[in-house]
Structure 1
Amino acid sequence: MATKIAKSLRPNSTSIKCGNDVTFAELLEYIVNNRHFTDSERRVNEHFQPTVFSCNPCKYPFDIIGKAETFAKDEGLILASARLLGEVSEGKQSDRILTEVNSLVDYNLDFKDWLGIDMPDECFSFIDVSRRLWKVFQLNGYIGDEVHFPEKQFEHLKDKASYKNELKFIIFELRKKAGMEMLNKWKQQKQRSMHEAYKTLPASLLEKFTTMFSYDFDLFQYERHPNWLRK
């Protein structure tokens, strides 16, 4: 998708071979520009479409509608409504984070294989993907911004399995050794990172993006113009 974005928004650029330098603003602009295409013409991944269109509550009779911010509470409500509270163990926050780290590492390092295309080495290397995942885990608040990517621990690695195991091991060990105070400090990074990213966007693009997801804001009770963004 990154190369499509680069070609669409800067067709005369010489840096569109990999699309690795696509910005957050360009991603949102591409999503907004291609929001009206039909399913057969879809140019935007369904993960970037308004939830109301893919999970229309008027079409599908959901019993409970939850969201990521209140997942722990929603999980208890779901188990209680199914009369399984106490029968099924509720996942701990730390367990969910480790599960997500595990799955993101596997998914992204396997990406080239299951995509089935021959990507240039400069567009996809295990070390580059590992660095990018490290940044993702920092943005998500799983590890601290102050913890630098350990380049030397990856220098001797050759194959994909080694990169997977090493990256997972380092992340898991960092979280295991961090105290609760440190983990909470890291957790706050996610909101701060999101705030900083959205503050870089032009007002006109923000307004288009807000309009595109207006039904989702109403359905899931999100603020269209939160105070932190106005400030």
Structure 2
Amino acid sequence: MAKARLFRLGLALGSVGMVLLIIVYWDSVGTAHFAPHTAVSRPHTLGPRPSPEQAVGRELTPDMDAFLENLLGAGTKQNVPPGRKTEPPPLPTPSRPPLGSVEESVRGYDWSSHAAQQGPDSDRRQAERRGVLRDFCANASFVFPAKERSFDDIPNYELNHLIVDDRHGVIYCYVPKVACTNWKRVMIVLSQSLLHGGAPYRDPLDIPREDVHNSSTHLTFNKFWRRYGRLSRHLMKVKLQKYTKFLFVRDPFVRLISAFRSKFELENEEFYRRFAVPMLRAYANLTSLPASVSEAFSAGLKVTFSHFIQYLLDPRTEKLAPFNEHWRQVHRLCHPCQIEYDFVGKLETLDQDAAQLLRLLKVDGQLHFPPSYRNRTASSWEEDWFSEIPLAWRRQLYKLYEADFVLFGYPKPEHLLRG
């Protein structure tokens, strides 16, 4: 009996020793062992960075990250027997999307062909976008809330927009109202995080919208704590150094218009109860409101764009809860001054940027980016939408979203801000 207890004690001590050895190795050698891909906490001195082609084309070297993931039973990479070659599946032919929601049915898809030309201009455009981000994040005179905090200072719940694909070494920060439904579909196909009939999806448009936006479908940074515990931040940093990180952005004011149209001009029960009812009570002085959005719409009770702007500018809004993700600033969703992105796409150049990114990720032979929505919220509409908004409100709104305008290279909308 005593020998058995000693044996079990020896096993336990050995396991603890192994974990301690891993941690010591990780802290002293692990991250230094890699040629850093990008800085996690952005330095304030500018230096040369690897090109996107170098970043995407590198091999993911076997390292302590992979060993630790396997040890923890969390590895997602498929094991291929030595000597066996894997052939990529044939490129699926895009099919008509399942119209699983009113919003998707109303907006429709653009099925016309778009020539997505690649070349020096595309590479130069990416270099310029990343350069603008780098310069303004390093510019001490350009200040906005939370700019100077480190990656470690960002709470886990603020990392819920960073989707990880370990199979291809990709991290995508999704921004609502910037083609995020279809980029999430692409990430599901790449990561094989969702099965249909026992097999992974191959065509992004086959994935139902409700599954796309189900948070359980995606591995995001905020879930790392449950999986890795105290090692979660260390793993995040290693993946941020090694993986290719991208996001897509949009003119901030046009994004706001798009958010208003999809969430308040269409019958949306959740947004009616959570946001429209409080707005109508606070800014339309209505006390007795219907219980359902259909009843409200039938009675002609709708939130106006003016109510929406008042809500965004009201200091009580942020005190009650952070902005909803559909109108939260991009820098608060994706933390571009703490995470150095390798690819910055824009909705205004979606076709070209999507084709370039899939090519850089070396997955353009495996899938197409789904046909983009017919964009019914154009930049040229800004003057019409803001015509009834007082000038003082417009200027306050610009200050609220100024960091997004500046960081992502969108010109200040002087035509809306002049007296």
Structure 1 length as normaliser, TM-score?
A: 0.50
Greater share of strand: 2
Structure number with greater CO (CA < 8 Å, separation at least 6) is 2
Q: Comparing both structures, which one devotes a greater share of its residues to helix?
A: 1
Using the size of structure 2 for normalisation, the TM-score is 0.29
